[in-house]
A and B are shown apart, each in its own frame.
Chain A
């Protein structure tokens, strides 16, 4: 079920009514759990079995990991959990990819091996809920937090419908305590939640689907050299589309949870206002970058084992982060390019620190407060700590960061390296167009206006939040802007398109 559908509107209204009935808290939790399964089953009912399996195995394995005194048995239990979770992810998400690469290798070695192409359907959100349950068992192994007492609370933590399919990726301490005591939205939370839900839908339905998606699809689907104007318009359109699509989902999810009285962590903090790439990763898909930092980068050694290992750990983290997004080498290249950017940024910072006598940091996203309130904005930027306060220079650095990130999106969006190369050559005018111009003037204007406004909003909002800003405005102005968003959502008339991140 997607948030931008009539089905969800009906589902959400029913949920709001049921959650506010005068019934015991346990009954409300059971109701939320059943509703979450309905939410998931509305996409593909059989895959709910996978969700149950993952939940039950990790609940009992997690508890055993915490209580088992024997070190070897604990390791064995951890391996069981890792194999269970990652095995499922590998089979459904990477099965075809692994086989395809195996066939390439065997054929390169001269073996004539051509197996039938597997027809594996990817369960929606498997990457998200796998990471959610994985962090629980790893935390139990490290005894970082206490095991969840009831299977009901644990099931609800894994399955809670707002975050289930596309995040934010939650940690047990962020959500489980909220299930232990009765939670019902206050009037203020309900208002804030509805505002965030409206904003999220506006970002998805109007900005991503109605104004940018077609341009990005047309350009990346052209399959031939095109002119630089068309190529840049397509890449900029996708840069906006991917942000509005994913941030729109996260904002809607946070809003829906808030309407029910629950707080989910922030997932985006105006990423296109980032100055530098570590700043970008503090602002883009925050819960994933924090997960990768805590469960991959730091266990690899982080920045504690010398400069060379730090660089290697950064690159490994970014490559795996890239692969998490999709079973294709182009995603790995996307992650690798971000890794190279982070290398360059760290080298620059290290050399600056050397000349000024200060020490540099690790290069990979540092901890960010992803607790109940919007995380505090990073006060210092990564390329030059004083640049954020010098507005014109800071804005130019942010613009440069954005343009370099646009280059990475070419690999993210292209299905093949050939397609990515064609797009890059077209963007920089290194190949003559093979045919007439592609985009209408209206499409180019739409991209220009939306991307300019997006960058302006990101820059002006980088030190605040939507709710704070909305709260400070005169009530009539907030109401009018809210109405305009709702009107445009209805006028865009985009049918219930799935969110891009569902496929991850």
Chain B
């Protein structure tokens, strides 16, 4: 009778593993899935380390998910020759990123801050930014090496998409009914959120063309309507304004500069935002108190009518339009970037 492990077992295990993953990869590719990058603290920290590039050579972007879709980094970089460093995180407030950069005396660069009111003027949405900042500050040499080894593999294999094909994601997609009031698993379609190595989110052509998938995402946004938290006002809002002003002043005092942007939204999302966060009380006050320039998409005819398929983020095609406009405005108003066609771009 056999009493110990045999080499045959090991060979069989290797054969099964290889057969499984080759089949799984081919199946996913056949379904139209594309490889992307895990947008976790590792990639964020890798990008965060770039902010010390000379201020005339790079621009840092912080915000929530909208700027991750709406800023088309290849367009920005090809038209300006300026490196776009994307530090925004989905579902997050950029305020802790702003503080992190303000407190970093080595950062003297240019900063574009995207404002999604429901996240910017809120005490929530700081978990992921805090985790990213902590990871960056305490990265070990082993973690840096793992990142270098991991990324080429991740870039080539579709099944290594944690948000879609990990065990937990696949269990979540079973949609087992929950008890009333439980915050559910958010099932975003695979084509909605592919992430590039430069941390830009790009909708796939399949997603852009499919209104069913748009509705799937809209249904997720609709969950936010049930949030009973009232908009920030009074003393907490004063505190936020004060904190942002303090951070902006610190960056400016070191020779850096800051501008704010408001990226497009539509439908019930926009209606709720206008109702809960009137422009005068929030956006205008933010610019006034910080003394910064701001670019509100609705003020420019090239961007005013841009349509987000799921009410909150632009398609790759419209992201190019938005990016060109932003380049033109920044070139014209701030002179950070020099695009040959700057005047045309912002008109």
Residues of A within 8 A of B (CB): 1-2, 5-10, 41-45, 187-188, 191-192, 194-195, 206, 210-211, 214, 435-442, 445-446, 467-468, 470-472, 474-476, 478-480, 482-483, 486-488, 490-496
Would A472 and B167 count as touching, CB distance under 8 A? no
Task: Kindly state the separation between the CA atoms of A480 and B145 in the bound complex, as whole angstroms.
Answer: 32
Would B5 and A43 count as touching, CB distance under 8 A? no
Can you list 17 pairs linking A and B with CB atoms under 8 Å apart?
A42-B141, A195-B5, A206-B167, A211-B168, A436-B180, A437-B181, A440-B183, A440-B184, A440-B185, A441-B179, A467-B5, A471-B3, A472-B1, A476-B12, A479-B9, A487-B17, A491-B165
CB distance from B9 to the nearest CB of A (A): 4
Residue-wise interface mask of B (149-162) relative to A, using a CB-CB cutoff of 8 A (1 in contact, 0 not): 11001000001101
Q: Given the complex, which residues of A lie within 8 Å of B10, measured CB to CB?
A: 191, 194-195, 479, 482
Complex: chain A residue closest to B6, CB-CB? A475
Complex: chain B residue closest to A227, CB-CB? B179
Task: Kindly state the separation between the CA atoms of A412 and B168 in the bound complex, as whole angstroms.
Answer: 26
CB distance from A127 to the nearest CB of B (A): 19
Given known contacts A467-B4, A479-B8, A479-B9, is B149 in contact with A437 (CB within 8 Å)?
no
Residues of B within 8 A of A (CB): 1-17, 20-21, 38, 40, 42, 140-143, 145-146, 149-150, 153, 159-160, 162, 165-168, 171-172, 174, 176-185
Task: Kindly state the separation between the CA atoms of A470 and B5 in the bound complex, as whole angstroms.
Answer: 6
Task: Kindly state the separation between the CA atoms of A87 and B2 in the bound complex, as whole angstroms.
Answer: 52
Would B184 and A7 count as touching, CB distance under 8 A? no
Given known contacts A210-B166, A442-B174, A491-B165, is B16 in contact with A479 (CB within 8 Å)?
yes
Task: Kindly state the separation between the CA atoms of A201 and B32 in the bound complex, as whole angstroms.
Answer: 31
Would B2 and A440 count as touching, CB distance under 8 A? no
Would B179 and A471 count as touching, CB distance under 8 A? no
Would A496 and B143 count as touching, CB distance under 8 A? yes
Q: Given the complex, which residues of A lie within 8 Å of B12, measured CB to CB?
A: 475-476, 479-480, 482-483
Partner among A436, A442, A492 whose Cβ is within 8 Å of the Cβ of B166 = A492
Would A475 and B180 count as touching, CB distance under 8 A? no
Given known contacts A210-B168, A483-B16, is B7 in contact with A187 (CB within 8 Å)?
yes
Partner among A436, A475, A486 whose Cβ is within 8 Å of the Cβ of B2 = A475
Would B4 and A471 count as touching, CB distance under 8 A? yes
Would B142 and A2 count as touching, CB distance under 8 A? yes
Would B168 and A7 count as touching, CB distance under 8 A? no
Partner among A6, A442, A471, A496 whose Cβ is within 8 Å of the Cβ of B5 = A471
Task: Kindly state the separation between the CA atoms of A493 and B161 in the bound complex, as whole angstroms.
Answer: 8
Given known contacts A478-B5, A482-B9, A482-B13, is B146 in contact with A6 (CB within 8 Å)?
yes
Q: Given the complex, which residues of B lie within 8 Å of A488, measured CB to CB?
A: 167
Would B162 and A7 count as touching, CB distance under 8 A? no
Q: Given the complex, which residues of B lie within 8 Å of A188, measured CB to CB?
A: 4-5
Given known contacts A5-B142, A437-B181, A483-B16, is B8 in contact with A475 (CB within 8 Å)?
yes
Q: Given the complex, which residues of A lie within 8 Å of B168, measured CB to CB?
A: 210-211, 214, 492
Partner among A43, A44, A478, A486 whose Cβ is within 8 Å of the Cβ of B17 = A486
Q: Given the complex, which residues of A lie within 8 Å of B179, measured CB to CB?
A: 436-437, 441
Q: Given the complex, which residues of A lie within 8 Å of B11, measured CB to CB?
A: 479
Q: Given the complex, which residues of B lie within 8 Å of A445, measured CB to CB?
A: 176
Q: Given the complex, which residues of A lie within 8 Å of B6, measured CB to CB?
A: 191, 475, 478
Would B4 and A45 count as touching, CB distance under 8 A? no
Would B171 and A446 count as touching, CB distance under 8 A? yes
Q: Given the complex, which residues of A lie within 8 Å of B15, measured CB to CB?
A: 483
Would B146 and A7 count as touching, CB distance under 8 A? yes
Task: Kindly state the separation between the CA atoms of A42 and B139 in the bound complex, as whole angstroms.
Answer: 10
8 shortest A-B CB distances, which residue pairs?
A436-B181, A479-B12, A483-B16, A42-B142, A482-B13, A479-B9, A6-B149, A493-B166
Given known contacts A188-B4, A438-B182, is B142 in contact with A43 (CB within 8 Å)?
yes
CB distance from A48 to the nearest CB of B (A): 12
Task: Kindly state the separation between the CA atoms of A487 and B25 in the bound complex, as whole angstroms.
Answer: 13
Given known contacts A440-B176, A483-B16, is B5 in contact with A192 (CB within 8 Å)?
yes
Task: Kindly state the separation between the CA atoms of A44 and B137 in the bound complex, as whole angstroms.
Answer: 12
Q: Given the complex, which residues of B lie within 8 Å of A5, measured CB to CB?
A: 142-143, 146
Would A211 and B167 count as touching, CB distance under 8 A? yes
Would A41 and B141 count as touching, CB distance under 8 A? yes
Q: Given the complex, which residues of B lie within 8 Å of A472, measured CB to CB?
A: 1-3
Q: Given the complex, which residues of A lie within 8 Å of B145, measured CB to CB?
A: 6-7, 10, 42
- Please name 7 further chain A to chain B contacts, defined as beta carbons within 8 Å, in addition to the given A436-B180, A439-B182, A472-B1, sorted by A numbering: A2-B142, A7-B145, A7-B149, A43-B142, A442-B172, A479-B13, A480-B16
Task: Kindly state the separation between the CA atoms of A442 and B42 in the bound complex, as whole angstroms.
Answer: 28
Complex: chain A residue closest to B181, CB-CB? A436
Would A496 and B146 count as touching, CB distance under 8 A? yes
Q: Given the complex, which residues of A lie within 8 Å of B162, measured CB to CB?
A: 493
CB distance from B274 to the nearest CB of A (A): 29
Would A210 and B167 count as touching, CB distance under 8 A? yes
Task: Kindly state the separation between the CA atoms of A7 and B172 in the bound complex, as whole angstroms.
Answer: 30
CB distance from B301 to the nearest CB of A (A): 44
Complex: chain B residue closest to A39, CB-CB? B142
Would B141 and A45 count as touching, CB distance under 8 A? yes
Q: Given the complex, which residues of A lie within 8 Å of B7, measured CB to CB?
A: 187, 191
CB distance from B261 to the nearest CB of A (A): 31
Q: Given the complex, which residues of B lie within 8 Å of A478, measured CB to CB?
A: 5-6, 9
Task: Kindly state the separation between the CA atoms of A2 and B14 in the bound complex, as whole angstroms.
Answer: 23
Would B185 and A487 count as touching, CB distance under 8 A? no
CB distance from A295 to the nearest CB of B (A): 32
Would A442 and B142 count as touching, CB distance under 8 A? no
Given known contacts A44-B140, A445-B176, A480-B16, is B2 in contact with A6 (CB within 8 Å)?
no
Task: Kindly state the separation between the CA atoms of A10 and B142 in the bound complex, as whole angstroms.
Answer: 11
Would A487 and B20 count as touching, CB distance under 8 A? yes
CB distance from A116 to the nearest CB of B (A): 18
Of A5, A438, A442, chain B has the most CB atoms within 10 Å of the CB of: A442
CB distance from A205 to the nearest CB of B (A): 10
Partner among B5, B160, B181, B182 whose Cβ is within 8 Å of the Cβ of A493 = B160
CB distance from A478 to the nearest CB of B (A): 4
Q: Given the complex, which residues of B lie within 8 Å of A491, measured CB to CB?
A: 159, 165-167
Q: Given the complex, which residues of B lie within 8 Å of A442, measured CB to CB?
A: 171-172, 174, 176, 185
Complex: chain A residue closest to B161, CB-CB? A493
Would A42 and B166 count as touching, CB distance under 8 A? no
Would A440 and B142 count as touching, CB distance under 8 A? no
Q: Given the complex, which residues of B lie within 8 Å of A195, measured CB to CB?
A: 5, 10
Complex: chain A residue closest to B1, CB-CB? A472
CB distance from B50 to the nearest CB of A (A): 21
Task: Kindly state the separation between the CA atoms of A43 and B143 in the bound complex, as whole angstroms.
Answer: 8
CB distance from A219 to the nearest CB of B (A): 13
Would B9 and A475 count as touching, CB distance under 8 A? yes
Q: Given the complex, which residues of A lie within 8 Å of B174, measured CB to CB?
A: 442
Task: Kindly state the separation between the CA atoms of A58 and B184 in the bound complex, as whole angstroms.
Answer: 55
Would A495 and B42 count as touching, CB distance under 8 A? yes
Task: Kindly state the separation between the CA atoms of A474 and B8 in the bound complex, as whole angstroms.
Answer: 10
Would A486 and B13 count as touching, CB distance under 8 A? yes
CB distance from B23 to the nearest CB of A (A): 11
Q: Given the complex, which residues of A lie within 8 Å of B172, measured CB to CB?
A: 440, 442
Would B13 and A1 count as touching, CB distance under 8 A? no
CB distance from A165 to the nearest CB of B (A): 11
Q: Given the complex, which residues of B lie within 8 Å of A194, measured CB to CB?
A: 10
